[in-house]
Chains A and B, each alone.
Chain A
Amino acid sequence: MPNGVRTARRRWLLLTPALVILLFAATGPLLIVLVYSFLTPGDYGGVVWTFSTDAWFNVVVERDFFDDTLSFADAHLSIFWRSVKLSLVTTLVAFIVGFPTAYFIATRPRETRDMWMLLIMVPFWTNLLIRTFAVMEIIRNEGVINTGLIQLGIIDAPIQMLFTEFAVTLGMVYVYLPLMVLPIYASMERMDFSLIEAGYDLYASRWRILRKVIFPLVKPGVVAGSILVFVPALGAYVTPRVLGGGKQLMLGNLIELQFGQGRNWPLGAALSISLLAIVMVALFVYVRSAGTQEGRHD
């Protein structure tokens, strides 16, 4: 047997466990969700094995239950848009906070960097729900901030922060920040800082060095960090619910409603696939645009 063939075969053999896991643990459940989205809802949850496209129809179109006119499902659309908007804002704020943080850590002496990284990591080891409740404890009406301000005599009555958009954004950024800091730090740590010195020697301004030297070098980290924050933020469920007071549904909550009290599993499945599609399109566009800009530099 030629050596090349044997190597190729061994490579496939070694890949098999990973492929099997991917096939059964990722593709399999996804296929079930896809199939369910084309079935009829069971009377009390579950599905009936009758083919139907109603669920997909209902994702985008709604029949007015008072006069039977068809219109755009603007309830679903506005919930989709709210989730996308929140994810974008979360990603942006996480970047604005995360980039300087990563820069700060990367410019510390080598011995202390691990300590700073540990400080970023420790909250991440804590359960998501507990971190969310911690944020709630800080901003609630009898929470740390309000009690402190009242005792200092700065305000008379507590400021309503919990159950506002501010609370949701704050919670989301806090929860996903490490996912932004880690990849940026990873590319910054490998960065050759003598390039920055070279920039200064050539009389570049600080802003110019940031834009033309640092940013292009750490861009892969920024791209990775943005994806890592944006994708889970889009499906976020617990944080908006706990900090937002449940008044406004996010995509994750809308899907949960269909599988729970709404008893419409096919609609829930169709909405889930739609979410997946949005993520894929967003990633595609993002990676493509990031790629072309990269090309311009080369």
Chain B
Amino acid sequence: MKNLVTAIGLATALASPALAEGQLNIYNWGNYTSPELIEKFESETGIQVTITDFDSNDTALAKVKAGGHGFDIVVPSGTFIPIWVGEGLLLETNPNSMENFKHMDPQWVDVAFDPGRKYSVPWQWGTVGVTVNTSVYDGNPHTSSIFLDPPEELRGKINVVPEMTDVMSLAIKFHGGEQCTGDREILKKVRDTLVEAKQHWLSIDYGTIEKYAKGDLAAGVNWNGASLRSREQNPDIVFGYPQEGYPVWMDNVVVLKEANNAENAKIFQNFIMAPENAALISNFARYANGIAGSQAYMPEEMSSAPEVVIPDELKAAAYVAEVCPPAVQQIYTRIWTELQK
């Protein structure tokens, strides 16, 4: 947060009228934008950047749909991009014909949410898995049973992130289903498992980096980058990739159709596809990006971190997160409500 304030402060300071080449308004997740990146972008282009935070994909979508926001760039998760496109909110900027497109890792070019990359440029990608403090429990961390059927040692010290879709899909995979399933038999098991497991949870909360590091929490559902940031404060922390299946997500930079500074936004899209710039993004928020060759600009402990490099034997369990159809979403909301009643 402090860094963000500094970034905004610098942004204001740098924007002397002489080199002002216009502005760029970015709407991104909180504590997620590298101040160094913005500084570099501003000094190279003279464009003045303003950053606004959001806390969930749904919030971002609702706010932009309501209009009158003044944003040029948004960074939604890949799962939501088809919705943004379907609602007619995005400008087709064709990143695939931009100068730095050649740096994009081929495995992230033909993604389901934006085939061939007509709208979006990768920001960062990561996984949802489990964080375990090995000084409390030193069994196998690579399973969803860490939070769905927790071992004795971890009970009462577990946190689950309040991301309904991620938690539901982890539990569905645990019972052998596919994400977004409407199969009642599986959903019934999922509900029973979650309700049963909840008595062993301490909280359903965000912002847990420090709580894991300090031992308030011993395990829980978490994002890999957040887990890495906890491990940097406490070496006992490990990140587990559930062998039953775990979601992979990617946040992407898109330009809004009603952007006032569309040209500057395109410059930004191109800018962050350069490996040395993409590396700045990762160095700050601790997630991988989709740009090949950016590892060369990252510190060793980041590019080879076990939270970033998925072990070969667990790669097959990964699946790319999708947005569930509205009817299924309603059942999930009901289970989620029942879980917290």
Look across to chain A and name the residue whose beta carbon is closest to the beta carbon of B210.
A142
Task: Determine, out of A84-92, A192-200, A220-228, A261-269, the stretch whose residues face the partner at the interface.
Answer: A261-269
Residues of B within 8 A of A65 (CB): 184, 187, 331, 334
Task: Determine, out of A107-115, A206-214, A240-248, the stretch whose residues face the partner at the interface.
Answer: A240-248
Using known A-B contacts A260-B58, A261-B56, determine if residue A246 contacts B333 with beta carbons closer than 8 Å. Answer: no
| Nearest Cβ on chain A to B338's Cβ, whole angstroms | 5
Using known A-B contacts A261-B333, A262-B329, determine if residue A246 contacts B188 with beta carbons closer than 8 Å. Answer: no
A125 within 8 A of B: no
Residues of A within 8 A of B188 (CB): 66
B27 within 8 A of A: no
B134 within 8 A of A: no
| Nearest Cβ on chain B to A233's Cβ, whole angstroms | 19
Asked if B203 contacts A261 (CB within 8 A), the reply is no
B173 within 8 A of A: no
Look across to chain B and name the residue whose beta carbon is closest to the beta carbon of A41.
B326
A166 within 8 A of B: no
Interface of B is mostly: helix
Task: Determine, out of B59-67, B298-306, B310-318, the stretch whose residues face the partner at the interface.
Answer: B59-67
B117 within 8 A of A: no
State A246–B136 Cα separation when bound (angstroms).
24
| Nearest Cβ on chain B to A47's Cβ, whole angstroms | 11
A180 within 8 A of B: no
State A248–B205 Cα separation when bound (angstroms).
11
Q: What is the number of contacts between chain A and chain B, taking CB atoms within 8 Å?
A: 95
Residues of B within 8 A of A163 (CB): 202-203
* Size of the chain A interface, CB-CB below 8 angstroms: 34
Asked if A261 contacts B58 (CB within 8 A), the reply is yes
Asked if B62 contacts A66 (CB within 8 A), the reply is no
| Nearest Cβ on chain A to B203's Cβ, whole angstroms | 3
Look across to chain A and name the residue whose beta carbon is closest to the beta carbon of B327.
A43
Asked if B65 contacts A260 (CB within 8 A), the reply is no
Using known A-B contacts A163-B202, A247-B204, determine if residue A45 contacts B333 with beta carbons closer than 8 Å. Answer: no
B112 within 8 A of A: no
Asked if A46 contacts B65 (CB within 8 A), the reply is yes
Asked if B87 contacts A44 (CB within 8 A), the reply is yes
| Nearest Cβ on chain B to A80's Cβ, whole angstroms | 10
Asked if A245 contacts B336 (CB within 8 A), the reply is no
State A118–B93 Cα separation when bound (angstroms).
57
| Nearest Cβ on chain A to B135's Cβ, whole angstroms | 15
Asked if B334 contacts A74 (CB within 8 A), the reply is no
Using known A-B contacts A45-B61, A65-B334, A249-B341, determine if residue A261 contacts B165 with beta carbons closer than 8 Å. Answer: yes
Asked if B205 contacts A245 (CB within 8 A), the reply is yes
Residues of A within 8 A of B340 (CB): 246-249, 253
Asked if B58 contacts A45 (CB within 8 A), the reply is yes
Asked if A245 contacts B65 (CB within 8 A), the reply is no
Asked if B341 contacts A247 (CB within 8 A), the reply is no
B162 within 8 A of A: yes
Asked if A246 contacts B205 (CB within 8 A), the reply is yes
Asked if A78 contacts B198 (CB within 8 A), the reply is no
- From residue 67 to 109 of chain A, which have CB atoms closer than 8 A to chain B? 74-76, 78-79
Select which of B87, B336, B341 is within 8 A of A74 by beta carbon.
B341
Asked if A262 contacts B333 (CB within 8 A), the reply is yes
Using known A-B contacts A65-B331, A246-B205, A261-B56, determine if residue A79 contacts B341 with beta carbons closer than 8 Å. Answer: yes
Asked if B83 contacts A246 (CB within 8 A), the reply is no
State A46–B56 Cα separation when bound (angstroms).
16
Residues of B within 8 A of A248 (CB): 340-341
Look across to chain B and name the residue whose beta carbon is closest to the beta carbon of A244.
B203
Asked if B341 contacts A66 (CB within 8 A), the reply is no
Asked if A264 contacts B203 (CB within 8 A), the reply is no
B98 within 8 A of A: no
B337 within 8 A of A: yes
Residues on A facing B (Cβ under 8 Å): 41, 43-46, 62, 65-66, 74-76, 78-79, 140-142, 160, 162-163, 245-249, 253-254, 257-264
Q: Which 6 A-B pairs have the closest CB atoms?
A: A245-B203, A262-B333, A246-B204, A75-B341, A249-B340, A260-B58
**30 pairs of residues in contact across A and B, judged by CB atoms under 8 Å:** A43-B326, A44-B61, A45-B65, A46-B65, A65-B187, A65-B331, A66-B184, A66-B188, A75-B337, A78-B341, A79-B337, A141-B216, A162-B216, A245-B203, A245-B204, A246-B162, A246-B340, A247-B203, A248-B341, A257-B333, A258-B333, A261-B164, A261-B165, A261-B333, A261-B336, A262-B164, A262-B329, A262-B333, A262-B336, A264-B333
